[in-house]
Amino acid sequence: MSKPVLRFAPSPNGALHLGHALSALFSHDMARAMGARFLIRIEDIDIARCRAEYEARMLSDLAWLGLEWEQPVRRQSEHFETYEQSLRKLDAMGLLYPCFASRKEIAAHATPGQIDPDGAPLYPGLHKNLTQEEVQRRRDAGEPFALRLDMEKAIALARGQSGKALTFDELDPESGNIETGAADPARWGDAVIARKEAPASYHLCVVVDDALQGITHVTRGRDLYAATDIHRLLQTLLGLPEPRYTHHRLILDASGRKLSKSHKDKALSSLRAEGVSPADVRRMAGLSRKFRRSFRS
Ligand code: GLU
């Protein structure tokens, strides 16, 4: 039987902090405990915010932490045509529509407090029912647009294709237990599948790449738990294999906020410069113990 394959998939739009260290070490330890292959994937489709310097620094930080990964590293910005093929498939199924709404417009119409898995206000369906003429007029005028998934149609089609409700398997690496839960993408509305500035989105690229790279176990933080609903839907529609999922705990700051690059939480490289060792980072991330037992999944 072939080996399981795990990955760590950072976006090089800032410096790695302790939260990333937890995610990277968690995935790497779990891969080792399973006798799995381990990959790093650079998720840099947001070409306005991602930079080669950040990527180089990330890889150097990860090597310093003791991670070992297979070469070559996949860089999403080099594979836009691949994502476009999947985009075309979804379009041919009649599941995509152009949405010209700006962030401001969406925020003005959204229900306050309702947030989607991308952290944006939950899309209230603006522009879903534009006439063909209106779409054409706006396109001819050069208005930028995103492509959104018609969620209702997509769910109905996926159900027809698979004959059952969507689910996902969550593996607890401590106990080895697998729990099958319902995936409920309907609650996230018409997700963005291609952005104005790139012919792809996180949701599309992540499912395409996980399948292409043969990822058997997706390990990532609980902040991406909600996104799994959308990923299972896309996997079903595109006929991609279903990986297992493990969503690990997050590191929160004193105010209960998740650490983030944009809040400039302390970079690993700064900790390193202050004399903190990789073993200290493990302790600080609450990972002083490696996964002891080897488990099958
Ligand atoms: N690139 C995503 C991030 O940095 C992670 C995606 C994933 O693991 O599915 O948050």
Residue of the nearest CA to atom 3 in ligand 1? 10
Distance 4 CA to ligand 1 centre (A): 19
Answer yes or no: is pLDDT of 264 > 60: no
**Residue 134 in tokens:** 């209106």
| 6, 266 Cβ separation under 8 angstroms | no
Cα–Cα distance for residue pair 252/86, rounded to 1 Å = 36
For residue 35, the CA-to-ligand 1 centroid distance in Å is 23
Cα-flanking dihedrals φ and ψ of residue 7, to 5°? Answer: -150, 160
Q: What pLDDT, on the 0 to 100 scale, is given for residue 197?
A: 82
- Is the beta carbon of 42 within 6 A of some atom in ligand 1? no
pLDDT band for position 88 (cuts 50, 70, 90): very high
What is the Cα–Cα distance from 224 to 150, expressed in whole angstroms?
A: 21
| Sign of the CA dihedral running 102, 106, 112, 117 | negative
Span from the CA of 36 to the centroid of ligand 1 (angstroms): 20
pLDDT(292) > 90: no
Mean confidence (pLDDT) of the chain: 92
Ligand 1 pocket residue status of 43, Cβ below 6 Å: yes
Atom of ligand 1 nearest to the CA of 219: 8
Which pTM does this prediction carry? 0.94
In order of start, what are the domains of the chain with their CATH numbers?
A: 5-284 (3.40.50.620)
| Residue 87 CA neighbour count, 13 Å, CB half | 24
Whether residue 217 is predicted with pLDDT greater than 90 in this model: the reply is yes
Q: Sorting pLDDT into bands at 50, 70 and 90, what band is 174?
A: confident
How far is ligand 1, taken at its centre, from the CA of residue 129, in Å?
A: 32
The pLDDT assigned to 260 comes to 67
pLDDT at 198: 84
Measured from the Cα of 206, ligand 1's closest atom is 9
Residues 6+ apart with CB under 8 A from 144: 100, 196, 197
In the chain, which ranges are E strands?
Answer: 5-8, 37-42, 74-75, 96-99, 146-149, 167-171, 178-182, 192-194, 217-221, 244-248
Q: Is 184 in a helix, a strand, or coil? A: coil
Q: Cis (ω within 30 of 0) for the bond into 72?
A: yes
Least confident of 119-123, 195-199, 268-272, 279-283: 195-199
Assess whether the C-beta atom of 238 lies below 6 angstroms from ligand 1: no
pLDDT band at 277 (very low <50, low <70, confident <90, very high): very high
Mean pLDDT of 274-297: 79
Q: List own/partner pairs for 132-135 with CB under 8 A and 24 or more apart.
A: 135/98
Question: Mean pLDDT over residues 261-274, rounded?
Answer: 79
**Cα 216 to ligand 1 centre (Å):** 16
204: tokens are: 């599309």
Sign of dihedral through CA atoms 213, 215, 220, 226?
positive
